[in-house]
Structure 1
Amino acid sequence: MPTKRTTPHRRAIALMSLGHSCVDIYQGAVAALVPFFVSERAYSYAAASGVVLAASLLSSVVQPLFGALTDRWAMPWLLPVSTLVGGAGVALSGVTGSYALTLVVVAVSGIGVAAYHPESARVARLASRGSHTAMSWFSLGGNIGFAAAPLAVAAVIATGGLRASPLLAVPAVAGAALCAATLRVLRAPGAATGPARASRGGGRRDDWPSFLRLSGAIMCRSIVFVGLSAFLSLYVRERVGGGEPAGTAALFVLYVGGAAGTVAGGGLAARYGRIPVVQWSYALTVLAVAGVVLVPGPALYLCVALASAGLYVPFSLHITLGQDYLPRRVGTASGVTLGLTVSVGGLASPLIGGLADATTLRTALAPLIALPALGWLLLRPLHEPTLPEALTGHPHPTEAEAPERA
């Protein structure tokens, strides 16, 4: 039976999930804009992938910095501010007059997204009270944002062209309002954990070797996901035909399958444990990505859906595992697992684009098959960390208890 004490935490997770979706629209929007840059501005594959790189490069550099700062000081004000910055960059990307200015504004958007994730993950973990399921709902919000991005971009840009991109600022305004509402809920008298409280590890030591292995695996996953995000739409047009609608549909399948996979990940982890679920997900991804590259015709969409599930089932589990491997540096762990390692995929996209220009898109995507296999090898020695007692005030709560506290 819910109590007044637990209600604010559930409400906070719901609001944070919605706010997360508004922010991550801008991560998905950059990749969704690539086909329009190619068609309207005649960008080459390499130039278009440079836009993805610009959104990721500064984000990769500053994300650990924001994580380290949140380990020292709680900065809940970053949530609404970073949401607005992330939206402003994408909104301006279609109205800039040069390639260089386009790179600058999408880089600014990347910085906004980078500032949001470490603090939001810290606040969400406290509000979740250690529940894998609650964290999967928080992560689901981001994945819904990814899934909505190609639809939002297509609706706006296909109607008004790139000059209509300022309309893409609307989710940022909504997201900032949701972030402000979340902070009000967590400061309410009925909330036992305010946004300024942070876990200090409960006396546990940081396990850097395990964390670095996990981070390496996430980097492999990131390169695969960003590579597919940036080029899947163009690739499906070549392989299946059907023009722009076929490519947009494939990108939507990639993102919406990820949303379903994220929710499934929390439930599977509660039953089987995080490490086995993450390992099997990477194994599935190897086969699914091979199908995307090699399977002809409409069956390619099924392979995209399976790849999406394999890439996203472990998504929220990456975050909580990283936080539990570094219980004294939760902000840093969040910045790396939710930000830096994810942004690294954008750094590889110009290599994929350059190889595609020199050969074919199919040839350029083929190396992605090997990366989840490498991630699986990195994950094999990992153990299941215990949940920090300082997170909930109770020693190692079970998943059955955690949702009631969330």
Structure 2
Amino acid sequence: VTSYESLLVCATLAGVGSSIFHPEGAKIMNRLGGGKKGKAMGTFAIGGSSGFAFGPLFAGAIAYTVGPHGLAAFTVVGIIIFTILFVLMPHIVAHARTIDQAVATENPTVAAKPLKNYWKYFGILFVIILSQSVNFRVINAFIPIFWTRELGTSPEQGSFALTVFFSIGIFMTYIGGLLGDKYGPIKIIRLSLLVWLPAMFLLTEVPTFSPLIMMPIAYLLLLMIGAAKAISYSPVIVLGQTYLAKSIGFASGITLGVSQTIGGVIAPIVGNLADTYSLPVAMMTLVPFLVMGLGASLILKDPKKLQ
């Protein structure tokens, strides 16, 4: 494309494709998970986390060597993945149906209970989703710029920082799912925000640190933020699906779709603040969102106690 407008249209179409896939993908993973839904959702998230981690690395390498047109290689990858999914999806759905029947046989009492939607607590969870989405999407957009403009690195190092940010998610999304199954999703969500909040605050102050410690601390805080986001990924989705047991598809759409959109809407506002003041000052506006999310997490209730 040769204009900002056409680029925006293409980005929108890509977003539509992503929004169609993720809610249904999360819904079927909920079924495939059986009694270990956190583990299943963590496994599901490994794919996305890997793509986010290695995508910027490959994109940066291609864009700075071959040129922007070389990014068409990602279209080839998309076609291959689409073909695999198209062929395998009937078998995946059939397997999910088998697991549904097995779970119902093992727990006939639970299966016989009517499903309920707890909209009040899903609304509280949405506040947390909002706070996380705003922070995640803005960080995703501005990490390379922060590294180059504020920390004085090269563009390649900025792309590498984004890879580091997402690489930790490959492992922590899976671990978060396991921990959510063992300790409950609410505890893991609270732990995530308790780590994320101070790390985000300190990251905005890194440009003022001594050059000797600036980069090590920047990468450490980046890892902390990436881990905090990733560890709560599966618990948030599973908790949302549990609160809206009658509307799992809708819950998946909100936790995976609308949440991403809201974060994207806020990103240009933060960008405008960065142009007007500075990027660290603009990023500091994200901290109150995390405070709001942490407060909301304290009033969540275990779905088992609501039944």
State the TM-score, normalizing by the size of structure 2.
0.88
* 1:279 pairs with 2:190: yes
What is residue 229 of structure 2 aligned with on the other side?
Answer: 311
Return the alpha-carbon distance in structure 2 between the equivalents of residues 112 and 272 of structure 1. Answer: 34
Instruction: Give the residue type in structure 1 aligned to 2:285.
Output: P
Instruction: Give the residue type in structure 1 aligned to 2:248.
Output: V
Which of structure 1's runs of 4+ aligned residues deviate more than 3 A?
187-191
- Using the TM superposition, give the Cα deviation of residue 340 of structure 1 relative to its aligned residue in structure 2, in angstroms: 0.4
Residue 192 of structure 1: SS of its match in structure 2?
helix
Return the alpha-carbon distance in structure 1 between the equivalents of residues 205 and 190 of structure 2. Answer: 23
* 1:185 pairs with 2:103: no
* 1:115 pairs with 2:115: no
Structure in which a larger fraction of residues adopt helix: 2
User: Pairwise mapping of residues 156-171 of structure 1 onto structure 2 (< 5 A)?
Assistant: 156-171=62-77
Report if aligned partners of 1:186, 1:193 keep a CA contact under 8 Å in 2: no
1:331 to 241, 249, 264: 249
Instruction: Give the residue type in structure 2 aligned to 1:348.
Output: I
2:80 to 169, 174, 186: 174
What is residue 256 of structure 1 aligned with on the other side?
Answer: 167
Moved more, 138-147 or 234-243: 234-243
Classify 1:229/1:190 alpha carbon distance in 2 versus 1 (closer, same or farther; 3 Å).
closer
Q: Deviations over 1:12-64 (max 9, x none)?
A: xxxxxxxxxxxxxxxxxxxxxxxxxxxxxxxxxxxxxxxxxxxxxxxxxxxxx
Instruction: Give the residue type in structure 2 aligned to 1:240.
Output: L
Classify 1:201/1:304 alpha carbon distance in 2 versus 1 (closer, same or farther; 3 Å).
farther
What is residue 138 of structure 1 aligned with on the other side?
Answer: 44
Return the alpha-carbon distance in structure 2 between the equivalents of residues 172 and 367 of structure 1. Answer: 36
Q: Deviations over 1:92-146 (max 9, x none)?
A: xxxx121111111110111110111111111111111141112211112111111
* 1:209 pairs with 2:130: no
Instruction: Give the residue type in structure 1 aligned to 2:201.
Output: A
* 1:344 pairs with 2:262: yes
Instruction: Give the residue type in structure 2 aligned to 1:114.
Output: S
Report if aligned partners of 1:118, 1:332 keep a CA contact under 8 Å in 2: yes
Residue 386 of structure 1: SS of its match in structure 2?
helix
- Using the TM superposition, give the Cα deviation of residue 249 of structure 1 relative to its aligned residue in structure 2, in angstroms: 1.7
Classify 1:312/1:188 alpha carbon distance in 2 versus 1 (closer, same or farther; 3 Å).
closer
Instruction: Give the residue type in structure 1 aligned to 2:63.
Output: I
What is residue 270 of structure 1 aligned with on the other side?
Answer: 181
Classify 1:235/1:189 alpha carbon distance in 2 versus 1 (closer, same or farther; 3 Å).
closer
Give the alignment's Cα RMSD to 1 decimal.
Answer: 2.2
Classify 1:140/1:189 alpha carbon distance in 2 versus 1 (closer, same or farther; 3 Å).
closer
Q: Deviations over 1:249-305 (max 9, x none)?
A: 211111111222211211222332211111111111001111211123111010000
- Using the TM superposition, give the Cα deviation of residue 165 of structure 1 relative to its aligned residue in structure 2, in angstroms: 2.5
Classify 1:310/1:188 alpha carbon distance in 2 versus 1 (closer, same or farther; 3 Å).
closer
Return the alpha-carbon distance in structure 2 between the equivalents of residues 190 and 383 of structure 1. Answer: 29
What is residue 61 of structure 2 aligned with on the other side?
Answer: 155
State the TM-score, normalizing by the size of structure 1.
0.67
Instruction: Give the residue type in structure 2 aligned to 1:126.
Output: R
- Using the TM superposition, give the Cα deviation of residue 204 of structure 1 relative to its aligned residue in structure 2, in angstroms: 2.5
Report if aligned partners of 1:283, 1:372 keep a CA contact under 8 Å in 2: no
- Using the TM superposition, give the Cα deviation of residue 187 of structure 1 relative to its aligned residue in structure 2, in angstroms: 5.2
Report if aligned partners of 1:237, 1:247 keep a CA contact under 8 Å in 2: yes
What is residue 322 of structure 1 aligned with on the other side?
Answer: 240
Residue 116 of structure 2: SS of its match in structure 1?
coil
Return the alpha-carbon distance in structure 1 between the equivalents of residues 93 and 5 of structure 2. Answer: 43
Unaligned runs of 5+ in 2: 101-110
Classify 1:282/1:204 alpha carbon distance in 2 versus 1 (closer, same or farther; 3 Å).
same
Instruction: Give the residue type in structure 2 aligned to 1:106.
Output: A
What is residue 99 of structure 1 aligned with on the other side?
Answer: 4
Return the alpha-carbon distance in structure 2 between the equivalents of residues 249 and 116 of structure 1. Answer: 27
Unaligned runs of 5+ in 1: 1-95, 195-199, 388-395, 397-406
Report if aligned partners of 1:210, 1:382 keep a CA contact under 8 Å in 2: yes
Report if aligned partners of 1:127, 1:193 keep a CA contact under 8 Å in 2: yes
Report if aligned partners of 1:214, 1:322 keep a CA contact under 8 Å in 2: yes
Q: Deviations over 1:316-362 (max 9, x none)?
A: 11111111100110100000001101221000011011111111111
Report if aligned partners of 1:156, 1:168 keep a CA contact under 8 Å in 2: no
Q: Deviations over 1:59-84 (max 9, x none)?
A: xxxxxxxxxxxxxxxxxxxxxxxxxx
Classify 1:201/1:210 alpha carbon distance in 2 versus 1 (closer, same or farther; 3 Å).
farther
Return the alpha-carbon distance in structure 2 between the equivalents of residues 316 and 324 of structure 1. Answer: 12
Same amino acid, percent of matched pairs = 28
Report if aligned partners of 1:201, 1:327 keep a CA contact under 8 Å in 2: no
Instruction: Give the residue type in structure 2 aligned to 1:276.
Output: K
Return the alpha-carbon distance in structure 1 between the equivalents of residues 288 and 4 of structure 2. Answer: 33
How many residue pairs match? The answer is 289
Report if aligned partners of 2:31, 2:96 keep a CA contact under 8 Å in 1: no
What is residue 134 of structure 2 aligned with on the other side?
Answer: 223
1:126 to 31, 52, 72: 31
- Using the TM superposition, give the Cα deviation of residue 163 of structure 1 relative to its aligned residue in structure 2, in angstroms: 2.3
Return the alpha-carbon distance in structure 2 between the equivalents of residues 140 and 190 of structure 1. Answer: 20
Return the alpha-carbon distance in structure 2 between the equivalents of residues 210 and 125 of structure 1. Answer: 19
Q: Deviations over 1:214-233 (max 9, x none)?
A: 01111110110111110111
